[in-house]
């Protein structure tokens, strides 16, 4: 995973050579304000990537990918280009950073890594924070949209009809089974028929919350959830954020045939024309 993760020590030594992105985002129930926390203290030079602002404004679905030109304009305004080495982190350790990692990769950024342990690890290492708002020099980001990495509603529907793609759901098991309500009002309870349940935190190392297990263990965890490693995987969750943790883990374990369902359960569970199952997978 050395090409996907960097340590706080490495980042501290290379701050002047890379572009750092704060990707913090929190669920309403977490009662945290990502923007306020960023303003109060962030890794020096880090720009804030707001997944709710850099998004498709033509839909009510949350933080859906924008079109390539809109993304390029937003990324360029943050001082990012597709050729930069970009290090992404978040305030929990490993929660929303994979979503921004995936977004950057989808639009053609070539060297994107995640800070292992995120901001908590940076602070634990004793490195300083800054409250100074960076003034990045605008750049040109030349997008190359990787369509294969993004699953839409039609593609997920086809998985129900034998397309060969497996849907893996990162939500907690209670929500997957339909035993616990969805945090967003108006959504059905349950899961996409035939999908597999793999809560994202099952991929965290024991005793080290928000740190990914070793790459060698990732495949075993997916297979224990009923995933056939030799078939393509589409990850899903509530709104496309924690699904990216699964996607990041799959790539870390060497699996290339993966995609993320951008609309996730907010889209599927919010429609009248989509089938829903309840109970275990």
User: Which residues form the catalytic set?
Assistant: 237
DSSP the chain: -TTTEE-HHHHHHTTTTSEEEE-----GGG---HHHHHHH-BSTTPEE--TTTSS-TTSSSTT----HHHHHHHHHHTT--TTSEEEEE-SSSSSSHHHHHHHHHHTT-SEEEEETTHHHHHHHTT---B-SPP-PPP--------GGGEE-HHHHHHHHTT-SPEEEE-S-HHHHHTSS--SSTT--SSB-TT-EE--GGGGBPTTSTT-BPPHHHHHHHHHHTT--TTS-EEEE-SSSSTHHHHHHHHHHTT---EEEESSHHHHHTT-SSS--B-S--
User: In DSSP terms, which residues pair with 233 in a beta bridge?
Assistant: 166, 258
At 21, which helix (H) or strand (E)?
strand 19-22
């Amino acid at each position: 995973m050395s090409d996907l993760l960097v340590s706080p020590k490495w980042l501290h030594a290379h701050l002047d050579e890379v572009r750092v992105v704060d990707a913090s985002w929190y669920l309403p129930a977490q009662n945290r304000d990502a923007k306020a926390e960023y303003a109060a203290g962030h890794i020096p030079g880090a720009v804030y990537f707001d997944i709710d602002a850099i998004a498709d404004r033509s839909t009510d679905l949350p933080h859906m990918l924008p079109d390539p030109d809109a993304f390029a304009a937003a990324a360029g305004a943050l001082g990012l280009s597709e050729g930069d080495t970009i290090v992404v982190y978040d305030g929990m350790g490993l929660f929303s950073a994979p979503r921004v990692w995936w977004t950057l990769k989808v639009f053609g950024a070539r060297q994107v890594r995640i800070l292992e342990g995120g901001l908590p690890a940076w602070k634990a290492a004793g490195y300083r924070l800054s409250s100074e708002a960076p003034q990045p020099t605008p750049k040109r980001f030349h997008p190359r949209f990787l369509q294969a990495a993004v699953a839409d509603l039609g593609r997920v529907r086809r998985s129900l009809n034998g397309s060969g793609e497996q849907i893996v759901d990162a939500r907690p098991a209670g929500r997957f089974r339909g035993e616990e309500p969805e945090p967003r009002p108006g959504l059905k309870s349950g899961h996409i028929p035939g999908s597999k349940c793999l809560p994202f935190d099952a991929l965290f190392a024991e005793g080290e919350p928000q740190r990914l297990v070793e790459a060698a263990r990732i495949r075993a965890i997916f297979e224990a959830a009923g995933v056939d490693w030799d078939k393509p995987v589409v990850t899903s969750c509530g709104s496309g954020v924690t699904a990216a943790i699964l996607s990041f883990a799959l790539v870390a374990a060497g699996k290339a045939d993966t995609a993320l369902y951008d609309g996730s359960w907010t889209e599927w569970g919010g429609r009248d024309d989509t089938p829903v199952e309840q109970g275990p997978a």
